[in-house]
Chains A and B, each alone.
Chain A
Amino acid sequence: MEEDVVDYTLEYAKSKKVEYAEVRAQSQVQERLILRSGILEAYLSAVDSGFCVRVIANGGIGFASTNKWTKEEAKEIVDLAFKYAKAANRKDKIRFAEEKGIETKWTVNQKEKIENVSPEEKISKFVEIDKSLASCGVNITATVTSCSTDLTSKYYVNSEGSRISSFVPKIDVFVFITVAEQGKTEQAYEQFGYSGGWEAFHEWNATEKMIHNAKVLKDVITKGKAVKPGIIDLICGSEVTGIAAHESCGHPMEADRILGREMSQAGRSFIFKGGPYWIGTRIGSDAVTVVDDPSIEHSYGYYAYDDEGVKARRRYLYKNGLINEFLHNRETAAKLGTKSNASSRAINYDREAIVRMANTFVLPGEMSEEELIEDVKSGVYMKSFTEWNIDDKRFNQRYVGREAYLIENGELKHPVARPVIETTTPKFWTAVDAASKNVKFDSATCGKGDPGQGVPVYTGGPCIRLRGVYVK
């Protein structure tokens, strides 16, 4: 990464009539491998490196990027960004919420450096996973495994004096399996993500988790029974709690959606000014507090400063059942008269930073899992999910269970095949009466933006108990 080109770009941008300018450079050392049923399909090794400039001029925003590291190219992209910003000709001028310039460096440490792990070792680890799956006693008819490692260096400067360097190593593994028994199939995938070094691979126990998943799918085929549709209690495992926190709390609390900036793609929010839901409105029971926290060390969604140079902190989105704090970048914060809470993220140098989640999860309660279950007369324990989705106002959602069990008189019974909860955001969160003590996280890639930007996140939480919801 050529920092002198970045500094030059900022100085050149500042020489224009701009209200604000920033330059963000990113260099990413990438390795990717993909295996199909134990066969290595391909191994990619590359370095992607470039920089972008974003300016505010005449109340409009222009952005341009390049991966050619020359001063001539730098001038070209500044000229383009400046031209586009002015051409916007907006009636209401864009400005950013105030921030002080920051000079700092931050890094994520690795116990076992990714760059010291040879391609042979990486390949052999994943071939071993496949071999273990092939001999686990379940008829697994197809597997797809991918592993990505990224060593990302960033250098960010802006016209307010910020100068921030960072280095973040990340590892991401994805495993997809198909199980066939008795002429029927079931499928499951698992994603593992971590900010840090190769030590993550040893801590994940990916092989054991996938063997567990395979056995669960076999049980669903051979022993699973459909649930009798009706109003019952539902206990959501941390994976289900996490996806609900992400989809029906994190997303609707993104201020750019609330303001309409994503209306044509990811959509809007059921929360809007003048509508039935706003800050202070009840959306769930007292037992529900959902936070988004980028500062969890080594989490998949970890960062110390966001891509506008704002220091990361925990955000309380729903607090004791009340809508509490939106996710903001500097643009949305200015529009709603507040400060950024460091939610601005970009997946690469060629994408604008937009409002994103980091690690979204429900805070724990005080009960054990067993205590949650033993107080359920008739219900379902949905430990994990398969199909899921939510509408673009983030109000109507659906989660279909992957590993699920019937609960009768406080005891777990037989597996339930694909139980479904299809409900609204307030009904879901208002039904929660208790949460377990333990929080668990799952890794995911959150999609948003146009062009799409998949950012690494954690979803998670404790087990939560929903009283009297319709399950089919």
Chain B
Amino acid sequence: MSDVLSKTEEIVKKAKALGADEVIARTTFGRYRQARFSNNQVDITVAWNDYVTDVNLAWKKRIVATQIHNFQDVDASIKRLLELAKVSKENPLFGGFAKGSFRYARSNADKKLQDPTEYVFEAIGAAEKEVGSQIDSGGILFTKFEDVYLVSSEGPVGADSRSAIELSIRAFSEREASGHGVECNSTLKDFKPSRAGSKAGEIAKLAKNPKIGEEGIYDVVFDPLIFGSLFGVWGSMVSAFSILIQQSVFVNRLGQKVAPENVTLKDNPSAYSMASRIFDDEGVPTRENVFIDHGVLKTYLHNTSTAKIFKTETTANAGLVAPNAWSIEMDSGDMRREELFKQVKRGLYLTNTWYTRFQNYAKGDFSTIPRDGIFLIDHGEIQQSLKDLRISDNALSLLGNIAGISKERQHVHWWGEADPPSLSPYVLIKDVHITKSK
């Protein structure tokens, strides 16, 4: 057992000795690096070193938490935490922390992910090849390396190393013509920043001379990046906590058809994903959870407590209060990207979006604003670059109107908009409501 794991275990033992019923301590040594660039130059390069132990403690169903930044502070911190628990209020629905001892998969973190700047210019160069010397580009290169040690009084003990690299580039060919590309991975294997640059550049080139689009109901081809934003919506809504607080269109829909037969969605923080992890925050081994299986809503995502409320098992998506989706995957479809476009007589191709906001999460009414390339499709071909349009629709309707899924998929993540990371195809959705300013 490593020194850090021993010290983490010591925290749990001390808390138990002081009277805690259940304790989880998770120590993270994180090293994060990020280069931010704009106007084709690096604006700032940032390094964060973060050392923290998160302690979650239950005493007579009172749940309290703290963070310890220095192992010398342990005794006082735990004592204070237990005192806090004793004056706190019971959560009758607390179902305990996960019990058992588990075998975990091997971590596959990449320790070489240290210096963030080297790939930035590769991506800019690739975008410039498409756009030409007038290119204006910005973005980030981010790397993460975390050593995580978890000890639970209920059995789980584990160590994980988690790494990630992300290159995000937005390229402008004109003031109002831009494209966005991303390249994400858990390791350097198959990480090609030029792929992100080329995609951003290709879209930016196509997006030149945009006209203001027209309101209406369109069949829309969604690029993997914008579809990643929709995964963020559905992924959040499938958390059991969102169900409990009614911030979801999936309330009371388990076992029901919510999408066409060709739609299978799962949460899977597997080896390739930026969010790869071998256990959740309770120490339960993570796994693939199919939550929409051939169009049928199969499960919500759970921690131990929410699972007990719903009379099921944890899906290893624990956060302390709310279960989270880690990394979403959509099963591939049966069409090539080009074939998908050919299905569209007159429609749109959307490449990115931001600012998704709901009127009512339970009903699902929302709007979001496409950005970067927006294109009019005519008989399967991109005909015109457009701008200034908004999707004003419903989260359940969009899911239900999926009409085609591409064979190709891309691992995408972008800022807080396409989050959590996902493995996302091109998707055709029928009858999407588009509005604009008047």
A contacts, CB < 8 Å to B: 34, 36-37, 39-50, 60-68, 73, 76-77, 80-81, 84-85, 87-92, 94, 118-120, 123, 127, 141-142, 144, 176, 178, 185-187, 259-265, 267, 272, 275, 350, 352, 386-393, 395-398, 400, 418, 422-424, 427, 447, 450-452, 470
Contacts and interface: CB of A to CB of B under 8 A. Distances in A.
A142 B63 contact: no
A50 to B, nearest CB: 8
B91 A264 contact: no
Given A63-B47, A142-B246, A387 B357 contact: yes
Given A263-B38, A265-B415, A45 B136 contact: no
Contact of B93 (A39, A127, A186): A39
Nearest to A59: B41
15 contacts: A41-B321, A43-B63, A67-B51, A67-B52, A84-B46, A120-B87, A178-B246, A261-B38, A261-B138, A263-B138, A386-B360, A387-B359, A387-B367, A392-B354, A422-B390
Nearest to B358: A387
A330 B45 CA distance: 18
Contacts of A94: 43
B175 A275 contact: yes
Contacts of B140: 264-265, 450
A459 B120 CA distance: 37
Given A42-B65, A63-B47, A422-B435, 10 more contacts: A37-B244, A39-B92, A41-B63, A41-B91, A45-B64, A48-B69, A119-B84, A141-B246, A263-B137, A392-B369
A73 B415 CA distance: 29
- The winner among A66, A263, A272, A397 for most chain B CB atoms within 10 A is A263
Nearest to A67: B69
A387 B365 contact: yes
A16 to B, nearest CB: 15
- The winner among A73, A118, A127, A450 for most chain B CB atoms within 10 A is A450
Interface residues on B, range: 35 or more
Contact of B359 (A46, A386, A391): A386
Contacts of B382: none
A213 to B, nearest CB: 14
Nearest to A350: B48
A470 B362 CA distance: 28
B88 A119 contact: yes
A387 B366 contact: yes
Contact of A62 (B44, B172, B175, B245): B44
A263 to B, nearest CB: 4
B311 interface: no
B81 interface: yes
> 9 tightest CB-CB pairs across the interface, nearest first?
A84-B45, A389-B355, A263-B138, A64-B47, A46-B67, A470-B438, A264-B138, A264-B170, A387-B359
Given A187-B360, A261-B38, A390 B49 contact: no
A36 B245 contact: yes
Interface in B336-372: 354-363, 365-369, 371
B169 A264 contact: yes
B117 A87 contact: yes
B437 A65 contact: no
B137 to A, nearest CB: 8
A291 B138 CA distance: 30
A60 B361 CA distance: 44
Contacts of B361: 187
Nearest to B200: A264
B359 A400 contact: yes
Nearest to B67: A46
Given A41-B321, A60-B42, A77 B69 contact: no
B416 interface: yes
B371 A392 contact: yes
Given A62-B44, A120-B87, A388-B357, A44 B362 contact: no
B45 A88 contact: yes
A351 B91 CA distance: 35
A453 B172 CA distance: 25
B205 interface: no
B107 interface: no
Contacts of A400: 359
A396 B44 contact: no
Nearest to B372: A392
B6 interface: no
B436 A396 contact: yes
Contacts of A47: 67, 69
Contacts of B436: 396, 422
Contacts of A259: 38-39
Contact of A68 (B44, B51, B84, B91): B51
Contact of B438 (A44, A61, A120, A422): A422
Contacts of A37: 244-245
Contact of A424 (B34, B39, B44, B437): B437
A418 B359 contact: yes
Interface in B228-253: 241, 244-247
Given A40-B88, A186-B360, A452-B415, A389 B435 contact: no
A352 B32 CA distance: 14
B80 interface: yes
Contacts of B360: 185-187, 386
Contacts of A36: 241, 244-245
Given A63-B44, A119-B88, A422-B438, A389 B64 contact: no
A44 B48 contact: no
A389 B229 CA distance: 15
Contacts of A41: 63, 91, 321
A424 B35 CA distance: 34
B424 interface: no
A80 B356 CA distance: 37
A323 B68 CA distance: 48
Interface in B80-130: 80-81, 84, 87-93, 117
- The winner among A68, A94, A141, A389 for most chain B CB atoms within 10 A is A389
